[in-house]
């Protein structure tokens, strides 16, 4: 049956494309059915070890904005008034039935394309056998401690430079500035996290037991400083997916090669971590725009109570977030298509992405104006939106529904294969790529393709420098009592 999955998804996807060009849109309930079906399919594929955690995380992020389609199942378009779509911003398109049908259909085709891409990989993700672990471990090298510290300090320095100078309690988030405010280096925070991803993976995979423990302790202290002091205390939340990526490295991707854990995700622990991250993110989002002059814990608690009573934070807001604003962008292009306000760009946006790759400070130095930047690009072309674009928007703007199906399938196929290869190789550079993808995923899937392209370029450059760093500090073979004994711990169930 599994061999038929790609053909089934392709046939359904092509049928949706044909219907779209015939101006026939799926009923909302059928689109919700497809989105739910894809979710259940991916869960079953994960349980069957056909896909990894990365694929599930990417689907959660790309599919989350479309939860706002669900309330339309019981909304009366003819007589409905004062609608509550889980706090999305109301505009003429949100009350137009055909616009919502097309928007939900775009979401369904995104899901079908995603399932099509991952189903093209047919091999099971299996745990590396003992000989493979020993062979990889004996061949792997790690950074010597002095060079490791240079990498760590570089990541810390960039995080410090990119962080807002004021905390939540001394300035409103929107008025706080960073030390790189005038440098036009908006991706500095992403570079710092990419460096720290290499640092964390190198520490995790170091075969010298004494050095490994020291590296991990130093790295955890540095990460705590970055996340708690330079990020959350200043109202930034870019570290949230980065932290989740680090957890996945520890519990899943690096597990077969750390000689201590099986390839199994402790979902209860992950659920607790995810819930804690969600609550912290919600609180930070609620207080970062206006709370200043709070000098003690009591004042902070009183302010949080006021925010709760005003329904700014609380259980009711769990369905509302950045993804709610992102949902407006596929709705915008859907409505523009229906009312003949959307001209297909036929690939021009992708060409603009390529020629917009130079960093801002480099472009400024040579007097080059990038087609896509913080002040120009697809996000500025949305009729209704608050910044950013969903991953389906650029493919739709360029190649209509065909682009949504094929571009999504392409990315799903490539990234699913990337995870498989990284888990098989068990190298710091490969595993760090997975963490970098998770770190960049919300920015990519909710704000535009430029984020993932920047992230991949950063990884390629850092991979080169990491190889050079390993060559500079060539080490002796790992200090392990016995490779076969150490590796056997994995297969004997050691925890």
What's the rounded Cα separation, in Å, for the pair 54 and 476?
Answer: 34
Structural contact between residues 413 and 121, judged by C-beta atoms closer than 8 angstroms:
yes
In a domain, 81, yes or no: yes
DSSP 400-469: HHHHHHHHHHHHHHHHHHHHHHHHHH--HHHHHHHHHHHHHHHHHHHH-THHHHHHHHHHHHHHHHHHHH
Same domain for 311 and 163? yes
Tokens standing for residue 148: 């490791």
| Torsions phi, psi for 376 (to 5 deg) | -155, 155
pLDDT at position 283 is 67
User: Which residues contact residue 338 at a Cβ distance below 8 angstroms, ignoring those fewer than 6 apart?
Assistant: 96, 98, 99, 102
Tell me if residue 13 falls in helix, strand or coil.
helix
Same domain for 94 and 230? no
Domain boundary among 352, 379, 413: 413
In a domain, 387, yes or no: yes
Which pTM does this prediction carry?
Answer: 0.84
Structural contact between residues 202 and 148, judged by C-beta atoms closer than 8 angstroms:
yes
Same domain for 291 and 348? no
Structural contact between residues 137 and 483, judged by C-beta atoms closer than 8 angstroms:
yes
Same domain for 177 and 268? yes
- Report long-range pairs for 273-280 (Cβ below 8 Å, ≥24 apart): 273/244, 273/247, 274/244, 277/240, 277/243, 277/244, 278/318, 280/232, 280/240
Structural contact between residues 199 and 152, judged by C-beta atoms closer than 8 angstroms:
yes
Among 253, 227, 250, residue whose Cα is nearest residue 240: 227
Distances in Å between the Cα of 213 and the Cα atoms of 202, 251, 483 are: 12, 17, 18
In a domain, 56, yes or no: yes
Same domain for 27 and 46? yes
Same domain for 145 and 252? yes
pLDDT at position 263 is 55
Same domain for 113 and 186? no
pLDDT at position 478 is 47
pLDDT at position 20 is 95
Tell me if residue 80 falls in helix, strand or coil.
coil
Q: What is the DSSP letter of 476?
A: -
In a domain, 308, yes or no: yes
Same domain for 393 and 262? no
In a domain, 136, yes or no: no
Structural contact between residues 453 and 440, judged by C-beta atoms closer than 8 angstroms:
no
Query: What residue has token string 């109570």?
Result: 305
What's the rounded Cα separation, in Å, for the pair 24 and 9?
Answer: 19
Among 92, 110, 71, residue whose Cα is nearest residue 335: 92
Number of neighbouring beta carbons within 10 Å of residue 460:
11
DSSP percent split of the chain into helix, strand, coil, nearest 5 = 70, 0, 30
What's the rounded Cα separation, in Å, for the pair 153 and 155?
Answer: 5
Structural contact between residues 413 and 439, judged by C-beta atoms closer than 8 angstroms:
no
In a domain, 389, yes or no: yes
Domain assignment of residue 240, given as a range = 141-317+420-491
Query: What residue has token string 């169930």?
Result: 493
Same domain for 35 and 167? no
pLDDT at position 495 is 37
What's the rounded Cα separation, in Å, for the pair 281 and 275?
Answer: 10
Structural contact between residues 362 and 185, judged by C-beta atoms closer than 8 angstroms:
no
Same domain for 184 and 42? no
Number of domains composing the chain? 2
Domain boundary among 373, 394, 413: 413
Q: Residue 256, Cα to own-chain centre: how many angstroms?
A: 24
Same domain for 240 and 305? yes
What's the rounded Cα separation, in Å, for the pair 489 and 252?
Answer: 16
What's the rounded Cα separation, in Å, for the pair 416 and 349?
Answer: 25
Same domain for 280 and 396? no
Mean pLDDT of successive 10-residue stretches along the chain, which has 495 residues: 86 96 94 96 90 91 92 82 68 90 96 95 70 60 89 93 73 64 76 94 87 92 89 75 88 74 62 70 61 59 65 60 87 94 90 83 76 82 86 94 96 93 86 93 88 90 92 58 40 40
Tokens standing for residue 59: 């689907």
In a domain, 348, yes or no: yes
Q: What is the DSSP letter of 166?
A: S
Domain boundary among 413, 435, 467: 413
Q: In angstroms, how far apart are the furthest CA atoms of the chain?
A: 76
Beta strands in 245-389 (DSSP E): none
pLDDT at position 476 is 41
Cα atoms in the Cβ-side hemisphere of radius 13 Å centred on 478 = 23
Tell me if residue 236 falls in helix, strand or coil.
coil
Among 51, 186, 146, residue whose Cα is nearest residue 473: 146
Query: What residue has token string 């009183």?
Result: 302
In a domain, 279, yes or no: yes
């Amino acid at each position: 049956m599994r061999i038929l999955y790609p053909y089934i998804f392709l046939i359904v996807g092509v049928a949706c494309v044909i219907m779209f060009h015939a101006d026939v849109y799926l009923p909302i309930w059928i689109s919700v059915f497809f989105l739910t079906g894809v979710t259940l399919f991916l869960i079953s594929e994960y349980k069957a070890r056909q896909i990894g955690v990365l694929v599930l995380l990417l689907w959660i992020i790309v599919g989350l904005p479309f939860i706002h389609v669900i309330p339309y199942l019981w909304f009366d378009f003819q007589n409905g008034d004062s609608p509550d779509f889980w706090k999305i911003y109301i505009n003429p398109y949100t009350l137009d039935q055909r616009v919502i049908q097309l928007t939900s259909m775009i979401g369904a085709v995104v899901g079908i394309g995603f399932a099509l891409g991952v189903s093209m990989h047919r091999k099971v993700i299996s745990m590396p056998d003992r000989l493979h672990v020993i062979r990889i471990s004996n061949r792997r090298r790690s950074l010597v401690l002095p060079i490791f510290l240079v990498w760590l300090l570089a990541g810390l320095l960039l995080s410090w430079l990119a962080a807002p100078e004021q905390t939540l309690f001394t300035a409103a988030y929107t008025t706080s500035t960073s030390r790189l405010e005038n440098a036009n280096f908006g991706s500095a925070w992403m570079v710092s996290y990419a460096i720290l991803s290499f640092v964390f993976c190198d520490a995790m995979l170091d075969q010298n037991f004494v050095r490994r423990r020291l590296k991990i302790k130093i790295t955890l202290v540095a990460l705590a400083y970055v996340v708690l002091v330079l990020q959350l205390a200043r109202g930034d939340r870019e570290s949230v997916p980065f932290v989740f990526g680090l957890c996945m490295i520890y519990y899943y991707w690096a597990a077969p090669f750390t000689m201590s854990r099986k390839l199994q995700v402790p979902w209860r622990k992950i659920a607790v971590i995810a819930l804690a991250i969600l609550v912290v993110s919600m609180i930070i989002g609620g207080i970062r725009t206006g709370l200043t002059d709070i000098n003690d814990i009591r004042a902070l608690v009183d302010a949080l109570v006021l925010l709760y009573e005003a329904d700014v934070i609380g259980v009711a807001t769990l369905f509302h977030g950045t993804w709610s604003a992102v949902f407006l962008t596929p709705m915008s292009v859907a409505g523009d298509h229906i009312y003949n306000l959307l001209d297909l760009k036929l690939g021009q946006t992708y060409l603009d992405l390529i020629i917009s790759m130079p960093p801002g400070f480099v472009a400024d130095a040579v007097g080059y104006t990038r087609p896509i930047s913080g002040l120009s690009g697809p996000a500025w072309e949305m009729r209704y939106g608050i910044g950013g674009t969903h991953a389906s928007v650029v493919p739709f703007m360029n190649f209509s529904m065909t682009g949504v199906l094929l571009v999504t399938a392409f990315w799903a196929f490539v990234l699913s294969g990337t995870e498989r290869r990284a888990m098989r190789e068990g190298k710091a550079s490969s595993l760090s790529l997975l963490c970098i993808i998770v770190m960049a995923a919300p920015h990519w899937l909710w704000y535009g393709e430029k984020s993932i392209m920047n992230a991949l370029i950063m990884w390629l450059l850092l991979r080169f420098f990491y190889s050079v760093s390993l060559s500079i500090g060539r080490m002796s073979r790992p200090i392990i009592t016995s490779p076969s004994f150490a590796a056997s711990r994995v297969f004997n169930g050691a925890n």
